[in-house]
Homo-oligomer: A and B are copies of this chain.
């Protein structure tokens, strides 16, 4: 693509990347599974999800590239675990972004809160 995505502020780009990593139910389910079981073994995740092993591996790759998950190849079975710190940063980033958008002026000028607009 001509990917206009690079034309935006880097903080928006980073937040968008994080959101993209979370934009698939399978990846959310993977995060939940990893967090629920201390177990970080890939096979367990595959058993838990209605997806093929290759697909799960790809989702894990996405999550790892997004920095939400850390993985260590411990021989036959790979070890995955949620990166709590990164996840917290993502949560903060969302709050920082969404927060300022919420404080619409209580009953002021150009707020279109009710039903009438502008």
A15–B38 touching, CB < 8 Å: no
A16–B28 touching, CB < 8 Å: yes
In the complex, residue of chain B having the shortest beta-carbon distance to the beta carbon of A71: B117
Q: How far is the CA of A90 from the CA of B74 in the complex (A)?
A: 37
Q: A84-B104, A87-B98, A88-B102 are in contact. Are A118 and B15 (CB under 8 A)?
A: no
A36 to nearest B CB, angstroms? 9
A62 to nearest B CB, angstroms? 12
A25–B38 touching, CB < 8 Å: no
Top-7 shortest CB links A-B: A38-B110, A8-B25, A79-B117, A20-B23, A81-B112, A19-B22, A19-B23
